[in-house]
Amino acid sequence: MTFQPTSAPQPAPRSTRLSVPIDTPPLHDARMLTDGGQLAQINLDGQVYTLRITRAGKLILTK
């Protein structure tokens, strides 16, 4: 019979929202969503939406 070492349990990942009140919605940077560009596609329940950043710096979300 050979001994098989087991890995130590890993700690649970720390939440990045610990200091934020629970009812505060997540904050996402639109420039990160568009990967520095002007467009991003967002999927919600199989429906694809397009997020566009205009030249004026406004956001438009279309289906």
Inform me whether the pLDDT recorded for 50 exceeds 90: yes
- State the average pLDDT over residues 7-35: 75
Task: Output DSSP code: residue 40.
Answer: E
Query: For residue 55, what pLDDT is reported?
Result: 96
- State the average pLDDT over residues 26-35: 95
Task: State the pTM of this model.
Answer: 0.61
- State the average pLDDT over residues 29-55: 97
Using an 8 Å Cβ cutoff, are 40 and 51 in contact?
yes
